[in-house]
Amino acid sequence: MSLTHPAHLAPPRDRTGLSVRSATPADHPAIRGLLRAAYGQFARTLPASLFQPYQADLLDLDTHTRHGTIVVAEVDGVISGSGAFYPDIGVQGYGWPHGWAGGRGLAVHPRLRGQGVASVLIAECERRARQAGAPVFAFHTASFMASAVELYEHLGYRRLPQYDVDLAQHYGVTGLAPIPVLAYGSDLSAPAEQHPDRSNR
């Protein structure tokens, strides 16, 4: 597999009032509210027969916590972003290789998009992937999430089309045209400090 490491992402506390930490069960209601706010716009993009199981999967924090860790970003003490970190992405059921680390359900509150919250969450997940000894950090994003695709490509993540999936097929919804979910990843073998920090661009 040919991958380049993404541009080195900023450390979690490089912005005033912005920090990251592992979530606790007490955070779950706030995280679910955040996920609904961040993903609710796609209820107009996806058929209801698909959006409902897709959203239910994102909101299933018990499963995400059982297989990994929910990471939250706080802005001035308020949970404003979240994402599930999986030390072994192979358990997700999307065809990823076992042993790779990955992310799931990255969300930033709509009012704070473009403020660097997503980059900080990704940096923290990548740090945890390195700590876990994973050779690759990977994730999916839907083809209709244009801003997310732009962010990941700006950060240097590379497409892994062999791991793309059809969202409708994954949730067992028939009668729909294919809805591609795009795979991205990065090689973690190169030391992060060798890569320029472009996260504030």
- pLDDT tens track of the chain, all 201 residues? 334 334 444 444 445 588 999 999 999 999 999 999 999 999 999 999 999 999 999 999 999 999 999 999 999 899 999 999 999 999 998 999 999 999 999 999 999 888 889 999 999 999 999 999 999 999 999 988 998 999 999 999 999 999 999 999 999 999 999 999 999 999 998 665 443 333 333
Q: Which residues contact 191 (CB under 8 A, 6 or more apart)?
A: none
Determine, yes or no, domain membership for 170.
Answer: yes
Domain membership flag for residue 12: no
Distance CA 174, CA 172 (A): 6
Evaluate whether residue 2 is within a structural domain.
no
d(CA 165, CA 168) in angstroms, rounded, equals 9
Domain that holds residue 134: 18-194
What distance in Å separates the CA atoms of residue 7 and residue 128, rounded to the nearest whole number?
Answer: 17
CATH number for the domain harbouring residue 103: 3.40.630.30
